[in-house]
Amino acid sequence: MRPGRKAHKPVIFTPHEECGVFGIYGHPEASNLAYLGLHGLQHRGQEGAGICTSDGKQLHVEKAIGLVSDNFTEKRLKRLPGYAAIGHNRYSTAGVSAMKNVQPIVVNFSLGSMAIAHNGNLINADQLRILLEDEGAIFQSSSDSEVIVHLTAHSRGESIHQRIISALNQVRGAYSLLILLEKELIAVRDPFGVRPLSIGEHDGAYVVASETCAFDLIGAKYIRDIDPGEMVIINEKGVQSVRALNSTQKAQCIFEFIYFSRPDSNIFGGINVNKVRKDLGRQLAREAGIDADLVIPVPDSGMPAAIGYSEESGIPFDLGLIRNHYVGRTFIEPKQSIRHFGVKLKLNPVRDLLEGKRIIAVDDSIVRGTTSKKIVKMLREGGAKEVHMRISSPRTIGPCFYGIDTPTRQELIASSHLTEEIRKYMTADSLAYLSIEGLQSVVPDPDNYCYACFNNFYPISFPDERLHQMELFSA
C-alpha cells in the first residue's frame, strides 16, 4: 500500500451480470444487424443496451438505458457507420443502475481504440481492482468487465493479442467476451466454458453471439461453438483460432438449459434447449408421477417441461395460467384488498379449465418460494381442487457467482428447509423436485457442467475461501 493511502474496505464480490453479446465483422450494415442480434438476445438483459461499430479507422458507440427496440431508432443507428460491430444487453443484478455501466466499454490506449462486451462474472475482480487502483488506474464504472480493460492496458505484451491473453490469464470466473478494434473482432471464451458463445456466417460476414436464436433472426448459419479457452480473431484475412488459455475442465452452466437460454437456441455444442427442457419434464414425470386431471405450465419457462411431463404421464396438458406479456413497471399500487397484485399483473388463472380439477403445475425452479406460494393460492382461488407442484430442476441451495442472478444462500428457501417444509409454506398438496441424477441423465456429457447451485460444489476456485464463505452466508 502506498504511504498515506487509506486502508481499503473489505472486498465484496462484484455484481453478477446476466448479459447477451453479439458481434459481426465484414458487413456494410453491421449496426443494423447488431441491433437485430441484440433484439434476439433481449431475454438475457433488459436494463440497458449498447452498440459499438468500426469503420476501419475509428470506433463509434451508442448506449441507452432500457430495451433495444425502445432506444435504437433508425436515426441513432445511422450514427454507427462501419462494417464491424459488437453489441451488449445488460442485466445487472446488483450495484448502481447507470449509463456508465452499460456496455460496450470503449477506451483509447497506446495500441489504439478498443471496445469490450462481456457476459459472465469475474470472481476475483475486486481484488484485481484494488491492485490496479494502487497502480494508479482510475475506474469509470462498477462493472467487473472494466478490470479486463485495465489489465490489458497495463500489460507489457507487444501485440494487442498478447496483452489480452495476459489480462485473461489474471482473471478468474466466467466470461464470453467480444472485443472490437479498428480493424478486427476478437471473441474469447473462458477456460471452463461457463457461458455459451457461438460463431456463424451471414452473407459473407462472420457473426458471434451468446445464443443461436440471434443467428436465426438475421438468417445466419451456425458454424460451431467457440471452445473453452479459445480466442477467435476475425479480420480481413479471415478467421484465426488461438488456444489462448489452458482448458482442462469444462463447467458449462446447467441453468442455461433449465431457465436462462431461449428454448429455440442451440447451446453447448449444438444441443437444443427446448428438447432438453421437455426431456427434463419427462424425467420428472418418471420420478414424481401422481394421479391428476391436468398438467399446466407456470408460464413461460415451465412450458417445455410441462409438455414433456404430460407426454410421459399421459395426463392432458393445457394452459391454466395465462401470462400478460406486456407487463412493465407500474408506479400505481392498489389497496391491500387486491390480493397477490404483483403476480396477477403477470398471470391469471383460467377458471373454466381449473374448476374442480386436480392440477399438476410444472415450473423450472424455486428460488425464494414466495412466487410459488402465490401461484398455488391463485390456482386454488381459480377453482383447483388439488395443486401439485413439480419442479423440473433440483433444489436450488447455493448462489451463483458465475453470472446467473440468484440471491444469497440465506434467501434460498431450499438451503434451509426440507421439501416437506417448503410444501407446507406453499400450501401445495404435494411438491417434488427433479433429482440431480435425473438432471444428469438428460444432458449429454453430464460431467461437463457446473451444478453449484444444486450441490454447492464450485468448479472455479475462489481467490479467498474466507471471503467466499462470508458471501455464501451473508444476508
Report the CATH number at residue 240.
3.60.20.10
Work out the end-to-end distance of the chain between its first and last CA atoms, rounded to an integer number of angstroms: 31
Q: Is residue 261 part of a domain?
A: no
Torsions phi, psi of 374, nearest 5? -70, -35
Q: Which residue has the higher pLDDT, 92 or 310?
A: 310
Cα–Cα distance, 465 to 463 (Å, whole number): 7
What is the rounded average pLDDT of the residues 433-459? 97
What is the rounded average pLDDT of the residues 49-65? 97
Torsions phi, psi of 9, nearest 5? -65, 155
Which cell goes with 173? 470466473
What sign for the dihedral angle of Cα 408, 411, 412, 418?
positive
The helix (H) or strand (E) run that includes residue 218 is: helix 213-218
By C-alpha distance, which of 423, 439, 441 is closest to 431?
423
Known catalytic residues are 19
Radius of gyration of the chain (CA): 23
What is the rounded average pLDDT of the residues 326-348? 61
pLDDT at 92: 62
Residue 9 has pLDDT above 50, yes or no: no
Q: Is residue 449 part of a domain?
A: no
Q: Is residue 279 part of a domain?
A: yes
pLDDT at 15: 45
By C-alpha distance, which of 363, 349, 362 is closest to 317?
362
Which cell goes with 465? 475461501
Residue 10 has pLDDT above 90, yes or no: no
Q: Is residue 241 part of a domain?
A: yes
pLDDT at 27: 98
Q: Taking all residues of the chain, what is their mean pLDDT, rounded to a whole number?
A: 89
Q: 93-102, 199-208, 420-429: lowest mean pLDDT where? A: 93-102
Q: Give the pLDDT confidence of 156-172 residue by residue, as tens digits.
A: 898 999 999 999 999 99
Tell me, what amino acid is at 46?
Q
Which cell goes with 87? 453489441
Q: Is residue 267 part of a domain?
A: no
Which ranges in 157-197 belong to alpha helices (H)? 160-168
The structural domain count of the chain equals: 2
Same-domain status, 345 and 233? no
Same-domain status, 112 and 178? yes
Same-domain status, 171 and 211? yes
For the entire predicted model, the pTM comes to: 0.89
Task: Determine the structural domain holding residue 410 and report its residue range.
Answer: 274-327+334-443
Same-domain status, 291 and 168? no
Same-domain status, 112 and 216? yes
8-state DSSP, 250: -
Q: Give the pLDDT confidence of 341-373 residue by residue, as tens digits.
A: 667 778 999 999 999 999 999 999 999 999 999
Same-domain status, 36 and 137? yes
Q: Is residue 371 part of a domain?
A: yes
Same-domain status, 36 and 166? yes
Same-domain status, 279 and 212? no
Same-domain status, 119 and 153? yes
Same-domain status, 97 and 216? yes
Q: Is residue 421 part of a domain?
A: yes
Which cell goes with 331? 408506479
Which of 198, 220, 251 is the last residue in one of the domains? Answer: 251
Q: Give the pLDDT confidence of 402-440 residue by residue, as tens digits.
A: 988 776 888 999 999 999 999 999 999 999 999 999 999
Which of 220, 251, 282 is the last residue in one of the domains? Answer: 251
In the chain, the percentage of residues whose pLDDT exceeds 90 is: 76
By C-alpha distance, which of 261, 289, 231 is closest to 40?
261
Report the CATH number at residue 398.
3.40.50.2020
Query: Are 28 and 128 contacting, i.e. CB atoms less than 8 angstroms apart?
Result: no
- CB within 8 A of 73, min separation 6: which ones? none
b/e map of 287-316 (b: 16 or more CB within 10 Å)? ebbeebbbbbbbbebbbbbbbbbbebbebe
Cα–Cα distance, 33 to 53 (Å, whole number): 11
Residue 444 has pLDDT above 90, yes or no: yes
| Residue in this structure with the C-alpha cell 483460432, named with its chain if needed | 241
Q: Give the pLDDT confidence of 210-244 residue by residue, as tens digits.
A: 999 999 999 999 999 999 999 999 999 999 999 99
Same-domain status, 95 and 216? yes
68, 77, 155, 330 from 73: Cα distances, Å = 9, 6, 38, 25
Same-domain status, 192 and 227? yes
Q: Is residue 471 part of a domain?
A: no
